[in-house]
């Protein structure tokens, strides 16, 4: 039951490899923070620094009010679930879970009580006498979680715990870990590169790229108002469409001019953009905000664009259209009734209430 603070934390491997760069994060007590980012961006390293498995090069890490930079892992009161589970092969499931408690000299019957309770919660009561190699992947995963919860630590760390499971089991375990978080009322820090996991489980998400924190916010805020092109492109699937463009004023209207088409910006959103008129920008719009011109939802500012349909993917409840206009290619998620097919010339509509504009130089959002 503690907060966690990364205070200007930098971790270098050797002299040149900066795995984590000036990281600042405050994780509140009982929060479920998810670290996401592409492979190699430093998520695991950030987590291992908190666990004490790596020494940090600069900055401070605090658990509660205590600076733990020089505290060995065993005294940090944390528990960690590894991607490979790291179950002790020579110990039974029971002994795996009891290992940490025995080291802390917890009385025998207390150990038994806690292990059995955790096993009950996780539905692995029948497996306590088995060795790890006699378990399936999902069962191992549960044991690894069980080993963490019997310790009743202040902070739980997870490093991509679900990435070795098949798709179905992953969905199930996702729900179970969320439930566990509610039951335990403890701080969870969870690393993944799966944005669906991030969106569904997190109370807040921290997006990291190349060792640098890009944005930290609730899933909804992150999705609705990404700070920069990287975050906008990383969250959401299919990814947001980007068009290099210029911002212009035509008569009284402010317009976005890609080389292929021109879009009018609704008057209520022009204000923050005034300073950027005449400059290069990046125009971003998510696929679900591109509609078939024949099925435009009511009450939106729609701007029509001519495009050629390159590929269509039928998903059942919607259709993905891969579209081409001049130099740009983009994706739309349109109404399943749409009749557009490969090779057609098509009219699509951009929902101009839901677009994003980024500075072309800094790639920061303008709003």
163 with 173: CB under 8 angstroms? no
Rounded to the nearest angstrom, the gap between the alpha carbon of residue 87 and the centroid of all alpha carbons in its chain is 26
Is residue 44 a contact point for Mg ion (CB under 5 A)? yes
Chain positions contacting ligand ATP, by CB under 6 A = 13, 17, 19, 37, 39-45, 193
Chain positions contacting another protein, by CB under 8 A = 51-53, 70, 72-74, 76, 78-80, 82, 84, 86, 88-90, 99-100, 103-104, 147, 151
Residue among 16 and 317 whose Cβ is closer to ligand ATP: 16
Is residue 192 a contact point for Mg ion (CB under 5 A)? no
Alpha-carbon distance values, 335 to 97, 118, 163, 301, 305 (Å): 50, 46, 32, 17, 17
- What is d(CA 41, CA 24) in angstroms, rounded to the nearest whole number? 15
CB of 169 to another protein, least distance (A): 21
Residue among 99 and 320 whose Cβ is closer to another protein: 99
CB of 212 to ligand ATP, least distance (A): 12
Task: Report what 207 binds from Mg ion, another protein, ligand ATP, none; CB cut-off 5-8 Å by kind.
Answer: none
- What is d(CA 322, CA 333) in angstroms, rounded to the nearest whole number? 9
CB of 44 to Mg ion, least distance (A): 3
Residue among 48 and 174 whose Cβ is closer to another protein: 48
Contacts of 36 (CB under 8 A, 6+ apart): 43, 191, 192, 193, 194, 195, 198, 205, 206, 207, 208, 234
Report CA dihedral (296, 302, 304, 308) to the nearest 10 degrees. Answer: -50
Q: Which tokens is 327 given?
A: 């130099």
CB of 157 to another protein, least distance (A): 8
Residue among 111 and 357 whose Cβ is closer to another protein: 111
In the block, residue with structure tokens 């001049």: 326
Residue among 115 and 189 whose Cβ is closer to ligand ATP: 189
CB of 6 to ligand ATP, least distance (A): 14
Sheet bearing 187-191, strands edge to edge: 78-81, 155-159, 187-191, 32-36, 204-209, 212-217
Q: Which residue is nearest to ligand ATP (CB)?
A: 44
Give the range of 25-33, 42-50, 197-205, 225-233 binding Mg ion by CB under 5 A: 42-50
Residue among 51 and 118 whose Cβ is closer to ligand ATP: 51
The site for Mg ion (CB under 5 A) is made up of: 44
């Amino acid at each position: 039951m503690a907060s966690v603070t990364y205070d200007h934390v930098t971790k270098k491997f050797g002299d040149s490899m900066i795995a984590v760069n000036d990281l600042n994060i405050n994780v509140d007590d009982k929060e479920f923070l998810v670290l996401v980012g592409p492979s190699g961006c430093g998520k695991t390293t950030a987590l291992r620094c908190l666990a004490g498995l790596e020494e940090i090069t600069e900055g401070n890490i605090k658990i509660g009010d205590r600076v733990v930079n020089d505290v060995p892992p065993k005294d940090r009161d944390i528990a960690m679930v590894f991607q490979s589970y790291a179950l002790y092969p020579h110990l039974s499931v029971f002994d795996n879970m009891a290992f940490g408690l025995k080291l802390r000299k917890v009385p025998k019957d207390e150990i038994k009580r806690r292990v059995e309770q955790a096993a009950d919660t996780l539905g692995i009561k029948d497996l306590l006498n088995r060795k790890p190699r006699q378990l399936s992947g999902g069962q191992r995963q549960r044991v690894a979680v069980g080993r963490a919860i019997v310790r009743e630590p202040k902070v739980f760390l997870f490093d991509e715990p679900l990435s070795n499971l098949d798709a179905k089991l992953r969905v199930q375990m996702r729900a179970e870990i969320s439930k566990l978080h509610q039951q335990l009322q403890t701080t969870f820090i969870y690393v993944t590169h799966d944005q669906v996991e991030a969106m569904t489980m997190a109370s807040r998400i921290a997006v990291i790229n190349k060792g640098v924190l890009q944005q930290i916010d609730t899933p909804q805020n992150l999705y609705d108002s990404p700070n920069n092109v990287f975050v906008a492109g990383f969250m959401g699937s299919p990814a947001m469409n980007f068009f290099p463009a210029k911002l212009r004023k035509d008569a009284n209207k402010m317009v976005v001019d890609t080389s292929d088409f021109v879009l009018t910006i609704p008057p209520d959103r022009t204000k923050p953009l005034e300073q950027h008129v005449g400059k290069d920008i990046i125009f971003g719009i998510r696929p679900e905000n591109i509609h078939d011109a024949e099925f435009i939802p009511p009450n939106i500012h729609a701007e029509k664009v001519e495009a050629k349909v390159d590929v269509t993917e039928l998903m059942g409840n919607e259709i993905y259209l891969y579209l081409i206009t001049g130099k740009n290619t983009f994706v739309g998620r349109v109404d399943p009734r749409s009749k557009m097919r490969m090779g057609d010339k098509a009219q699509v509509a951009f929902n101009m209430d839901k677009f994003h504009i980024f500075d072309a130089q800094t790639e920061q959002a303008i709003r």
